[in-house]
Structure 1
Amino acid sequence: MRRRDFVLGALGTGALPYVLPQGAVAQTGRTTIPYGAAIRIDPMLEEPDYRKAVLDYCQVVVGEGGLKWIDLRPDRDSFVFDQPDRLLAFAEEHGLEMRGHTLAWYAAMPDWVETIASAEEARTELVRHIETVVGRYKGRISSWDVVNEPIADHPTREAPIRDSVWQRHLGKDYIELALRTTAKVNPDARLVINDFDFEQPTDKARARRKAFLDLIRELKARDVPLHAIGLQGHLQGEIAIDKSGLTAFVAELASMDLAIMVTELDIIDNLLPGPEIERDGIIAQRAKDFLDAIGAAKRPEAVLTWGISDRHTWVPIWFSRDDGMPNRPLPLDADFRPKPLMQVIQDFCAE
């Protein structure tokens, strides 16, 4: 069997490629659900087409970097706010909302954090970081991914939480600490826990959904401040969406009085067929299934993609194609032309 036939066969008859309606043109402007994208600050300031795409399509922006520890904290005693300050100035100049990403994460950490040697020291550093960063942007950044990706890749009953410097020294209590500290610094901030890989019809995804729900129920039972859940949506293009499982998962979160956000949507296409029209159709259908499954339980309060143009995307760093063709994971192609994925997002946001 040819590789293309194998991949298309794996998609299943219920996942026919999305086709841009004949004569349809992607429309810009404000929609019912705000759309946004993760932004790289240097291209945004240096490439007119990139900047224009952001202004044409986005109502919300988030820094792809800049607010991560590795960018902010080159050493224990320094905070470098250059990148987020520039992005926030751009957002405010053009009437865009900026989200904060992220305050507590296992990855993108400077080397010096490995010298943290005790629970007291870990608590001090995490609290100081949140107080400094959230305090600096109080009244200007109103939504924060306070905790990013807390669930282990393969969670078990004994180890549901991902390993990190915070987990090693504080256990899962670091999550509550981060949320309570953020709320104390800025009582008006929208507090979000952000995570991924909930949408596949696999045992791994089902285990992750259960571990995540267990965590959120415990936080709610302890009256920990938490307002929304960020569903990232780094979708594997060759794997169907577990629509019923995802809808039930979102419904359970919504029953706990939590809002839902789609925070990092893109479609990893390294195992999809090469021809662009075919690949773009499958990518758009995957996104449609994902968004529809979420929307069937609760309408998200925002939809953000992790990047806006295929010219600037993390995907080929980890998922380059064997055929040498460029990846196409985002709503605009490398020349900033809208693809069917953008139409899917706009249709969903406007419904």
Structure 2
Amino acid sequence: MTPPPGPPSRRALLAGAACAGLATAVGAAPAGFGPLGKPSWSADSLQAAATAKGLLYGCEVPFHRFDATPAYRQAVARECGILVCGTEMKMEEVLPAPGRTEFARGDAILRFARQNGQRMRGHTLVWHAALPPWVAPLLGRASPVQAEDFMRRWIETVAGHYRGQIVAWDVVNEILGNEADPDRGGGLRDSPWLAAMGPGYVDRAFRILHETDPAAAGTWNEDAVEQGAPWMEAKRTKVLRQLEAMRSRGVPIRRFGLQSHLTSTVPIDQGQLRRFLHEIGQMGLGIAVTEFDIDDRAFPSDVPTRDRMVADFARRYLDVVLAEPALLDVLTWDIYDPDTWLNDHPYRKRPDGLPQRALPLDAQFRRKPLWHAMQACFRAAPDHTAVRDKLRRG
């Protein structure tokens, strides 16, 4: 039996101080982001091809590139209808120290999006990673009540700041363990949130977001559920069980996000993937592809051959996901090859040391075979605009 909570610890009080007085009052949207401008994307863009089928195409925008490279901003404005920050809305950026908040970089990307008629996703509220150094020790000493109070203050701070501006928030991110992780009951990954609050932390996060910004679609964003490995099929089963249980409890979840960091070392099982997406859609949930890229380490070094194989791999995946009526958005994790995280990841980088060609645009911002494959897949996809519009309205 859990003992009743005692008086707040010093660290718990610091947690309150970190967020106290910072949350925007519910019901009052913050000012200063500007009106939604005229769409900036070109008639031959990926967004133009996507929107014809009731979809949005967009990308993750890293602030260092956005801030320093005009050609990058031009490419994002030309191609995209929805954007997401990589780190600028995560806790490590927004709450770097107790009592201090940093919104400037996220605000700048949001203003850019609004000026260009683009929508914005929020990433991410509750994750086991990207925590400021002072938060994990704080949660480790907090009672469940104190941890929930910290979670509430955090979500009210960041989602309140952006209230009315974000179409969907990744409320929880990567909450299930992968093949090598111990099973924590229901497959939940070990995390400071689980240790502090128990498995109910997931439901609480969704409820707090809904209270803070009811218009934002609460999303569970998960990795490694797209391909044909047996352990991924087992993980898909866990996802479906969790979603069914959440729906039965009345949790205000509206979307499921597939990160879609695809790896060329694992095949795409189209039948398994199609069944998985269909079951999610039958629950009344929207689906988003949130972080799409292709790890090309299994493909030859020759660039034309490699580009063709990446494009073919993408087609096998996109042909399935774009046929699902519940699919709403497709976002790549950046748009520009030189920025891909894959080059620096110890398990993802190519064995020959060459830079990966994982994204739609090359180092000169030219459209690659992957870009053309994506455009062709959007154009060939069935038109489920009516279903998608209904899901967006919630």
Q: TM-score, normalised by structure 2?
A: 0.80
Q: Distance in 1 between matches of 2:337 and 2:113?
A: 22
| Cα RMSD (Å) | 1.6
Q: Distance in 2 between matches of 1:332 and 1:167?
A: 39
The 5 A counterparts of 1:200-219 are 200-219=227-246
Q: 1:99: Cα distance to partner?
A: 0.8
Corresponding residue to 2:337 among 289, 293, 310: 310
Q: Distance in 2 between matches of 1:47 and 1:279?
A: 27
Corresponding residue to 2:365 among 325, 336, 342: 336
For residues 73-112 of structure 1, what are the alpha-carbon distances to aligned partners after superposition, in whole Å with 9 as ceiling and x for unaligned?
A: 1123222111111111111111111110000111111111
For residues 262-286 of structure 1, what are the alpha-carbon distances to aligned partners after superposition, in whole Å with 9 as ceiling and x for unaligned?
A: 1100001123211111111111122
Q: Find runs of 4+ consecutive structure 1 residues off by over 4 angstroms.
A: none
Corresponding residue to 2:86 among 64, 67, 72: 64
Q: Distance in 1 between matches of 2:351 and 2:282?
A: 44
Structure 2 unaligned segments of length 5 or more: list them: 1-42, 382-394
**1:237–1:282 contact (8 Å) kept in structure 2:** no
Are 1:120 and 2:145 counterparts?
yes
Instruction: Name the counterpart of 2:389.
Output: none
Are 1:50 and 2:68 counterparts?
no
Q: Distance in 1 between matches of 2:309 and 2:85?
A: 28
Q: Distance in 1 between matches of 2:198 and 2:314?
A: 35
Instruction: Name the counterpart of 1:27.
Output: 44
Instruction: Name the counterpart of 1:37.
Output: 59
Q: 1:180: Cα distance to partner?
A: 0.4
Are 1:149 and 2:178 counterparts?
no
Q: Distance in 1 between matches of 2:119 and 2:320?
A: 26
Deviates more, 1:130-139 or 1:146-155: 146-155
The 5 A counterparts of 1:1-351 are 27-28=44-45, 30-31=48-49, 32=51, 33-115=55-137, 116=139, 117=141, 118-154=143-179, 156=183, 158=185, 160-318=187-345, 319-350=348-379, 351=381
For residues 159-210 of structure 1, what are the alpha-carbon distances to aligned partners after superposition, in whole Å with 9 as ceiling and x for unaligned?
A: 5001111111112211100000000111111111111111222221011101
For residues 10-40 of structure 1, what are the alpha-carbon distances to aligned partners after superposition, in whole Å with 9 as ceiling and x for unaligned?
A: xxxxxxxxxxxxxxxx932523221100001
Q: 1:253: Cα distance to partner?
A: 0.4
- SS for the counterpart of 1:111 is coil
Q: 1:299: Cα distance to partner?
A: 5.0
Q: 1:243: Cα distance to partner?
A: 0.8
Q: For residues 299 and 259 of structure 1, do their structure 2 counterparts lie closer, same or farther at Cα, with a shift above 3 Å needed?
A: closer
**2:184–2:190 contact (8 Å) kept in structure 1:** no
For residues 243-270 of structure 1, what are the alpha-carbon distances to aligned partners after superposition, in whole Å with 9 as ceiling and x for unaligned?
A: 1111111111011001111110000112
Q: Distance in 1 between matches of 2:266 and 2:327?
A: 23
- Quick one: higher RCO (CA 8 Å, sep 6+), 1 or 2? 1
**1:144–1:192 contact (8 Å) kept in structure 2:** yes
**1:311–1:335 contact (8 Å) kept in structure 2:** no
Structure 1 unaligned segments of length 5 or more: list them: 1-25
The letter of the residue matching 2:360 is P
Q: Distance in 2 between matches of 1:141 and 1:247?
A: 29
- SS for the counterpart of 2:338 is coil
Q: Distance in 2 between matches of 1:105 and 1:157?
A: 16
